[in-house]
Amino acid sequence: MQYREPGVLLWRGFTLQEFTNQLFGNKYDYGKGRQMPIHYGSNKLNYVTISSTIATQIPHAVGAAYSLKMDKKNACAVTYFGDGGTSEGDFHAAMNFAAVMEAPVIFICRNNGWAISTPTSEQFRSDGIAVRGPAYGMRSIRVDGNDALAIYSTVHAAREMAINERRPILIETLTYRVGHHSTSDDSTKYRPADEIEHWRKARDPVTRFRKWVKKNGWWNDEDESALRNDVRKKVLNAIQVAEKVEKPPLAELFTDVYDHPSSNLGEQERLLRETVKRHPKDYPIDVPV
C-alpha cells in the first residue's frame, strides 16, 4: 500500500475513529503510535500496514497473491503505487515475478503526473505505465482515473480475471495530484498554479460523479449539503475523541520488535524506567509509564 489509499480502507469499513486514532497515535491506534500519521493498517480488513518506503510493498503483494492461489482462495491481492514508484527496482521485480509465478494480483498505478516535484516526463519515457504490462507478459489497461464509473468497471473486470484465470493484471489510472505532496510541500514552487486550478475545477472526479448521480435523480443539492455537514461533524468529533485519548503505554515501545522481547530489550526497558523516574520532566505526560 502507498499512502494515498485511505479511500480503500474507508470503503472496507475502517471507521473515522479508527482513522483518527492512527493519526494521533493514541492507545487505540493498531500501530501503537509507532508510525507517522496516515500509515494505517488493519488486519481485520486485510489491509497490510503502510510503509513509507516507495514501492517496497509491491513484491509483497505478489507473494501474498501466490499464497491465495496455492490455498485455492476465491480472492486476489491488490497493490497501489504512484507513477514515481514504477521507477523503483521493486516495481520491476514484482511485475516480473507476478507474470512468471502467475500470481492473482492487481497492480493499480495511480499516475497523477507528479512524484513530489518530479513530472512524469523526468520519470520515464515510456507511454505511461500500461505499456509495461505486455513487456512483462501481463495484461494491462489504462483508464481515466477521474471517472469513478470507469474505475469501478475496470477493477471489477480485473478482479474477475485475476481470480478466475489466476493471473496478474496491471491497471494504470490517469489522474492528477491537485494537492501539495504533503503538508511540508508547496507545489507552486515547481508547477504552475493554473495547471492545478484546471484539474481542480474542470477535471474534478467528485464533481463529475456528482453530476452523474444528479442527472439520474439520485442526488440533489440538499442531499449534498446534508452529507457534507454530517461528515464534517463526524470527522471533527472523531478528531476530538482521538486527541483526548492517551498514548500507548511505555511498555509498548519494546513489544513487537520480536514475537517475544529479547533479553537486551528487557534490560533497556529496565534502565529506561529508572531514567524516567529520575527525570520525569524529560518525558511526555500523555505516555503512561
Partner 1 sequence: MTNLLWRFRGLALRGLCTSSAAAAVEESKKSKAAVNLFSAINQALHIALESDPRTYVFGEDVSFGGVFRCTTGLADRFGKHRVFNTPLCEQGLVGFGIGLAAMGNRAIVEIQFADYIYPAFDQIVNEAAKFRYRSGSQFNCGGLTIRAPYGAVGHGGHYHSQSPEAFFCHVPGLKVVIPRSPREAKGLLLACIRDPNPTVFFEPKWLYRLAVEEVPEHDYVLPLSQAEVIRQGTDITLIAWGAQLAVMEQACVEAEKDGISCELIDLKTLIPWDKETVEASVRKTGKLLVSHEAPITGGFGAEICASIAESCFLRLEAPVARVCGLDTPFPLVYEPFYMPTKNKILDTIKATVNY
Ligand X SMILES: Cc1ncc(C[n+]2csc(CCOP(=O)(O)OP(=O)(O)O)c2C)c(N)n1
CA 278, chain centre distance (Å): 41
The candidate with the shortest Cα–Cα distance to 196, out of 181, 212, 206, 207, is 181
Residue 85 binding ligand X, by CB under 6 A: yes
Residue 245 CA: distances (Å) to CA of 23, 24, 33, 108, 281:
12, 9, 12, 36, 20
Closest separation in Å from C-beta 255 to partner 1? 9
Instruction: Assess whether 190 carries a catalytic annotation.
Output: yes
Beta carbon of residue 53, minimum distance to ligand X (angstroms, whole number): 4
By beta-carbon proximity to partner 1, the closer residue of 82 and 104 is 82
Q: 109 φ, ψ to 5°?
A: -95, 125
Among ligand X, partner 1, none, residue 190 binds (CB under 5-8 Å by kind): partner 1
- List 5, 18, 90, 147, residue binding partner 1 (CB under 8 A): 90
Indicate which single residue of 61, 78, 115, 171 sits in contact with partner 1 (rule: CB under 8 A). 115
Contact status: 114 vs ligand X (CB under 6 A): yes
Asked about 283 being catalytic, the answer comes back as no
124 binds partner 1 (CB under 8 A): yes
How many residues line the site for ligand X (CB under 6 A)?
16
Task: Tell me which of 12, 190, 228, 270 is the catalytic residue.
Answer: 190
Residue 230, CA distances (Å) to 181, 192, 236 in order: 28, 34, 10
- Residue 122: name its binding partner from ligand X, partner 1, none (Cβ under 5 to 8 Å by kind): partner 1
Q: Quick check: is 260 catalytic?
A: no
Please tell me which residue in 92, 166, 180, 181 is annotated as part of the active site: 181
Using CB under 6 A, which of 4, 166, 180, 214 touches ligand X? 4
Residues in the interface with partner 1 (CB under 8 A) total: 50
Contact between 25 and ligand X per CB under 6 A: no
Instruction: To the nearest 10°, report the CA torsion of 58, 59, 65, 69.
Output: 160
Residue 85 or 248 with smaller CB distance to ligand X: 85
- Work out the angle at residue 22's Cα, subtended by the Cα atoms of residues 21 and 23, and round it to the nearest 5 degrees: 95
- 262 sits near ligand X (criterion: CB under 6 A): no
Q: Which stretch binds partner 1 (CB under 8 A): 10-18, 98-106, 119-127, 219-227?
A: 119-127
Is the alpha carbon torsion for 12, 80, 2, 46 positive or negative? positive
Cell 452523474 belongs to which residue?
Answer: 212
Per CB under 6 A, residues contacting ligand X are 4, 52-54, 81-85, 110, 112, 114-116, 177, 181
